[in-house]
Structure 1
Amino acid sequence: MEYIKNKREKQRLKNIRKRKIRKFLTAFFFIIVFFLWGVYFLLQSDLLNLKKVEIRGNNILTVEEITSAGQLSINRNIFQYKLADIEKNIQSHPLIKEVTLQRKLPSSIVIELKERDKYAIIPYMGSYIYIDQDKVVLQVSESYLAEDLILITGVEFQSFNLGDQVDISKEHLLDVAMELVEASKVVGIGEIISEINIEPEDYIKLVTFDGIEVLIGNKTDLAYTVLSLKEVLTNLYTRNLKNVIVDMRYKGQISIRNRENWEENE
């Protein structure tokens, strides 16, 4: 009798456990269904529709230009967008260097970006190619729009595309010219330099807005050379001498000659 009693008790406990498990599974199922229904409701409602695009870091491009590049549309559910695709689209714009995105519930997307700055201009077949410090092509214009940027002339192009680095021959000379641009800005004479010509084989010619020509060896210490050039130009402007050629091609030697005398000797 005791055996039968124990067996019935075990069966009763087993049935109780089964009922508890069924109740738990039923409750869990309803929770999942309710959750999925809630998600579906949110995705179909206007609550999560894109209402605002927050853009941070843009100084050149407008909000409209950036949202257009990212193919963003107001009143579309923010979870229907793939952020990686938006980043890729915006990154393809020539003026964008870096971009990150995040969703901001319930109805915003935040775009943080870093723009490329126009650094120099390269004339080419009647057009002007604007490049940044990484030699990426930012813009091609038929007119010279930014007079505060230095012209780099004598560049021989292989090819160029918006958003890509320029493909040129004598690339090392363009690198030297870019170093000269940077050094001139650091020492405070960038605003008076009009042109840097890299066409000569063994030196680079720098021209100021006043017409002073400066010949610089392409293998010299550029930082030291530009510091010396600042002193030379200061002295020339103090003496109101502009129609001159400054020869700094040889280390430790600086010669200044009148342009007419130079051309006669040449």
Structure 2
Amino acid sequence: MTQKKYRKKKMRSFWIRMILTLIVLVLMCGTGYYFVFRSPLFRVKAIQIEGVSRLEQDVVAALSEIKLGDQFYGSSLKQAAEKVESHPYIRDAILTRKGFSTINIVVREREEYAIIPYMGSYIYLDQERVVLNVTDGILDSNLCLVTGIKFISFQTGDTALVQNEESLETAYQILGAAREAEILEMISEINIDETGQVKVVTFNGIEALFGYMDNPAYSVLALKEALITLHTRNMNSVIIDMRYEGHITVQDRARQEDEDDKP
């Protein structure tokens, strides 16, 4: 056998081995793909939900569009997280795979913070002013009602746009100060009129007139002290005039209304 023929035979043998190796690799990859992505062993058998208190777990699972029996590695967890986060009450969601058959969904919910009535509807906002819900009636009587706010636009899941931004900012400062002072659950309404003057109403019927509130934190602490004093004296349905710094007056609501009705 000449050297030339020997080289051809050796080259042909090399290519045969290469082709056979590629065939084996393709078969192995195909088998591996089927085993991981098509085998009944790798299917979603459980969906765990963590972090929910307002929403039902079934609602969160449905939002992800991942179902029991789906291929375990066949779904994009990033896309599923974005679908869960599309709900206005969900701030963010993290999806992970556990083991070979469990999808874990951890969510952080948004908290209702204030209700703003507007044109016959009630708009629920969170602390970041994201619109969580719009209803025709008040669903949660424990939340504070903020009145006097005028909207430019609002849509569930988006930040509300208002005309009187300063008034809404003042209302949120009052809410934050009331939470810090641990009297938020006592306040039923914060009213800010067109001139920017503030009135706070408690659930037991006490009205506090603040006028222009330059320091909400200080004003709320002063209100807390006044409410404690009124409580110890068993005085409800009164009007507290706190419009003048260092001078607080308390008047019976019925008497004040009678005076207002006089010509």
TM-score bucket (shorter structure): 0.7 to 0.9
Q: Report how many aligned residue pairs link the two structures.
A: 257
Q: CA RMSD in A?
A: 2.9
Contact 1:176-1:218 at 8 Å conserved across structures: no
Query: Which of 183, 186, 193 is equivalent to 1:189?
Result: 183
Q: Does residue 149 of structure 1 match 2:143? A: yes
1:78 is paired with a residue whose SS is: coil
Query: Which of 208, 213, 216 is equivalent to 1:214?
Result: 208
Corresponding residue for residue 111 of structure 2:
117
- State the AA in 2 paired with 1:122: I
The percent identity for this pair of structures is 37
Corresponding residue for residue 251 of structure 2:
257
Aligned partners of 2:112 and 2:203: how far apart in 1?
20
Corresponding residue for residue 72 of structure 1:
66
Query: Which of 198, 202, 219 is equivalent to 1:204?
Result: 198
Contact 2:167-2:196 at 8 Å conserved across structures: no
Aligned partners of 2:258 and 2:163: how far apart in 1?
29
Corresponding residue for residue 171 of structure 1:
165
Q: Does residue 130 of structure 1 match 2:128? A: no
- State the AA in 1 paired with 2:182: G
Q: How does 1:30-109 map to 2 (within 5 A)?
A: 30-31=24-25, 33-109=27-103
Corresponding residue for residue 233 of structure 1:
227
Aligned partners of 2:238 and 2:54: how far apart in 1?
39
Contact 1:94-1:138 at 8 Å conserved across structures: yes
Q: Which structure's CA Rg is the greater one?
A: 1
Q: Displacement, 1:264?
A: 3.1
- State the AA in 2 paired with 1:215: L
Task: Give deviations 1:139-164, integer Å, cap 9, x for gaps.
Answer: 22233221211111122122211111
Corresponding residue for residue 133 of structure 2:
139
Contact 1:48-1:105 at 8 Å conserved across structures: no
Aligned partners of 1:36 and 1:178: how far apart in 2?
60
Gaps of 5+ in 1: 1-7
TM-score (norm 1): 0.84
Contact 1:193-1:207 at 8 Å conserved across structures: yes
Contact 2:152-2:162 at 8 Å conserved across structures: yes
Q: Does residue 243 of structure 1 match 2:237? A: yes
- State the AA in 1 paired with 2:166: H
Task: Give deviations 1:110-148, integer Å, cap 9, x for gaps.
Answer: 111100111111122333222111111112223322121
Contact 1:203-1:249 at 8 Å conserved across structures: no
